[in-house]
Chain A
Amino acid sequence: MYVAVKGGEQAILNTHKMISEARRGDPAIAELTLTQISEQLRLAVDRVMAEGSVYDRELAALALKQAQGDAMEAIFLLRAYRTTLPRIAMSEPVDTSRMTIRRRISATFKDVPGGQVLGPTYDYTHRLLDFELAAEGLERVRATSAAEPLEENVPRVVDLLHHEGVLQEDNDDGNDEVFDLTRQPMSFPAGRDQRLQSLARADEGFLLGLAYSTTRGYGFNHPFVGELRLGEVTVEIVPEELGFPIAIADVTVTECQMINSFQGTAEQPPQFTRGYGLTFGHNEGKAMSMSLVDRSLRARELGEDVRHPAQNEEFVLSHADNVEGNGLITHYKLPHYVDFQAELQLVRQLRAEYEAARAVQTKEAAE
C-alpha cells in the first residue's frame, strides 16, 4: 500500500542515481569541464555567484554542472556550502571609484570625465541567432584596444553631482557595525544595510518585475542611470596582527547608481535622490533593478506615501530570496495527507449539512 507517497531509502537513493544519469546525458558526448563552464557560460556563473553569495567561479561552475544548468538549484547548492565556511575576517568597504573599469556609461550627461566606455555588452547586438556559433572551432574574434589605457581612477558621476549639492548625500561613514543577513534574522523596519544585502542576493527576476512596476505607476520612480560601471575592484582586509590593510582578491562587480528626482519636503530641499545597486560579476539587469527597488524602498525614509508593492519593505524583502521562496513552494510536493484528511472530513460534513438544508428549502418551497 501507499506506493505513491511512501518511499523507502532505496527509492530515494535511486533518485540520486537517476538524476546523475540525466545530468550526464549521452555518455558518447564529451563531459563539460568546470573550466569550460566558468569560461564560456560566464554570465550564468556570475548570477550563481551573486545570488549564492559566494565569489568563487570554480564552485559556481561546479554548482551549475551539478544542477544541470538550473540557476536556482545551483544558487541553493552554493548557499548551503557557504553555511559551512568559517568566517576569517570582515573586509574593508570596497571603493568602486578605484575600479579597473571595463564598461562604464552614464545616461545623465553626454560626456563625463573619464569618458563613456561601452565595453562588453549585448546592448547593440541585434538579437539574431548567430548560426556560425553552432559550428565548433570558430576563429576567435578580437576587439581592438585603444591606444591609451583608461585612467586609473575614474570618478563616479554621482560624486560630481554631490559637489553641486543637488544630489542627496549618503550619510553613512562606514563606521557603524554592519547588519549581517547571513547571521541575524531579518527585522523590520530594516536599515539600508539589511535592505541592500537582501537585494544583492535577491532573485533577479523578482527584482526586475518589481523595478518594472515602479515605472508603470506602481511607484513614483523617474529614474536616470547616473552611472553603470563594470570592472574589477580590490577586496582588502586588516589582519589584527598587522593593523594595516592587505589585498586578498580582485573581484568583478557591476555597480549602478540610479538618480531619481525628488520634490523635497518641509525638512528636505528639492534634490535628486539615489538608489544603489551592486552585484558580483557582470549583471547589469540585476544591478539596475536593485537600484530602482532600493530607491523605491526609501519611501518611508523620504516621507513618501507607501502605497505600492515595491515600496513595501516587508513585502519585498520577505519574498525576494529564491532559495526560500522555491523551498516553500516546492514543499507542497511533500505528503500533506494528514491535514488533507482533516479538511476532507470537514468539507464532507459541511457538504452534508448544505445538502440537507437545501432539501428542506426545496420541500418548503414545494409545499
Chain B
Amino acid sequence: MSGTMNTDLGGDGYNFAFLDEQTKRMIRRTLLKALSIPGYQVPFGGREMPLASGWGTGGLQVTASVLGPNDRLKVIDQGADDTTNAVSIRRFFHTVANVAVTESTEQATIIQTRHRVPEAPLKEGQILVYQVPEPEPLRRLIPRESETRKMHAYAEYGTMQVTLYEDIARFGRIARTYDYPAIVNGRFLMSPSPIPKFDNPKIANNPAMQFWGAGREKRIYAVPPYTTAHSLDFDDHPFEVQSWKGCCALCGSTMSYLDEVITDDKGSRMFVCSDTDFCTTHQAKAAAQTKVVGEHS
C-alpha cells in the first residue's frame, strides 16, 4: 500500500481522503438513498482503491466520503484496534486525510469495522462503517444476481427460511453462527456482514448511523438509527446469541464476545474480550474500583 502512495509520477499529491470530489458526491448520494431504503443494497460506481478488494475497499470508500477534518476515526478488525489490517487502514486515512485517530469507541465519530460491532453502546451522530465481502444474503443459495435482485424486489425470502429450517431438521438448531441474516424495517433481507450473531441485536434500534460498504461487489446499504432489524428465526426456535461459561481472563467481563487463545501445546486456553477498547476500559474501571477481578475459567 505505501508503495502506491509513494508513487511520485503524478507530480502533486492526492485529493483529501484519496477519492476525487466527483466520486465522493456519487458515493454520498448513494449513502442518502441507502438510508432512505433501509437494508436495500444500492449499487454504486465503486472505484479501485490502493487496497486489495476483499480487504475493506467498500468500507474505505464509505469512510473516505463521509470523513472530514473534524472527525476522530477508529478502525477495528475482529474488535481489535491493533490487528494488522486495522492498523493499515488507519494509517491510510492518517496519510491521505491527516485525520485524528482514536481507539476509544466513545470518542470516535466514525468507526470502520470488520467482523464486530463494538461492545460499548453507540450514540446519536456516530457513524459505524462495516466492511462487507459479500453483501447479498441470498448469494450462497442463489448465485445469480439477476435472480436475487428480483427476490428482493418482491420480498420473496421463502428460500432463506427453508434453508434455515433444514438446519433445524438436521442439527436441531439454526447452524449459522456469523453473517446471520436479518430483516430490516420489516422489508429487506440484509447480510449484517460476517459479524458473529452475538452482534446482531446491536444493529437493531441503534441510535447511531450504520453503513455497509462492499467494494468488490459495488454495493452500499444502511440501517438508519432507531430501525428494526429482526434476525430470522422460528416461533419454536427463537434467535439466540452465543454465550460463554466463563468471563474474560483480562477484565472479567461476562457480557462481551470472547476470543479463545491457545496458550501452550498441551491444550490450555483462555478466553479474552475480542473488543480491545472495551476490555481496556473495563480493566481500568475495575482497577479504579480496586475490586478483585473474577476467577479465570
Answer yes or no: B18 CB below 8 A from chain A CBs: yes
Interface residues on B, range: 35 or more
Residue of A76, A337, A343 near B259 (CB, 8 A) is: A337
Residues of chain A within 8 A of B91, CB atoms compared: 9, 12
Flag if B78 contacts A331 (CB, 8 Å): no
B54 with A345: CB separation less than 8 A: no
A339–B194 contact, CB under 8 A? yes
Q: Mark B77-100, 1 if CB is under 8 A from A, else 0.
A: 111101111011001000000000
Complex interface residues of chain B between 221 and 251 (CB less than 8 A to chain A): 242
A95 to B: closest C-beta gap in Å: 29
Known: A66-B3, A188-B145, A342-B198. A324 touches B45 (CB 8 A): no
CB-CB nearest in chain B for A329: B54
Which chain A residues numbered 184 to 220 have a C-beta less than 8 Å away from chain B? 184-189
How many residue-residue contacts, CB under 8 A, span A and B? 155
Distance between Cα atoms of A12 and B179 in the complex (Å): 29
CB distance from B83 to the nearest CB of A (A): 5
Q: Which residues of B contact A11 (CB under 8 A)?
A: 84
**Interfacial chain A residues near B44, Cβ < 8 Å:** 185
- For chain A, the count of residues having a C-beta within 8 Å of the partner chain is 58
- CB contact under 8 A between A84 and B83, given known A66-B3, A188-B146, A327-B55: no
- Please determine whether A83 and B83 come into contact, CB atoms closer than 8 angstroms: no
A341 to B196, CA, bound (A): 9
Q: Is A59 positioned at the interface, with any CB of B under 8 Å from its CB?
A: yes
**Partner among B48, B53, B146, B175 whose Cβ is within 8 Å of the Cβ of A346:** B175
B79 touching A338, Cβ below 8 Å:
yes
- A307 is an interface residue with CB less than 8 A from chain B: no
Contacts A16-B3, A338-B116 known; A82 to B48 CB distance under 8 Å? yes
Identity of the chain B residue whose Cβ is nearest the Cβ of A186 in the assembled complex: B218
Known contacts A86-B20, A335-B77; is-contact A6 B49 (Cβ 8 Å): no
B87 touches A12 (CB 8 A): yes
Cβ of B158: which chain A residues have Cβ within 8 Å of it?
A: none
A7 CB-CB contact with B under 8 Å: yes
Contact partners of B242 in chain A: CB under 8 A: 342, 345
> Would A328 and B133 be within 8 Å (CB), given that A84-B14, A343-B178 are in contact?
yes
Of chain B, the residue at the smallest CB distance from A188 is B146
With a cutoff of 8 Å between Cβ atoms, the chain A residues found around residue B77 in the complex are 334-335
Let me know if B115 is at the binding interface, CB within 8 A.
yes
Cα distance, A194 to B248, chains bound together (Å)? 52
- Which positions in A face B, CB cutoff 8 Å? 1-2, 5-9, 11-13, 16, 19, 58-59, 62, 66, 76-77, 79-84, 86, 182-189, 314-315, 318, 323-324, 326-331, 334-339, 341-346, 350, 353
Sample of 13 more A-B contacts, CB < 8 Å, known A84-B10, A331-B133, A343-B178? A5-B84, A7-B87, A16-B2, A80-B48, A82-B48, A185-B46, A315-B143, A327-B55, A328-B54, A331-B52, A338-B257, A339-B196, A346-B177
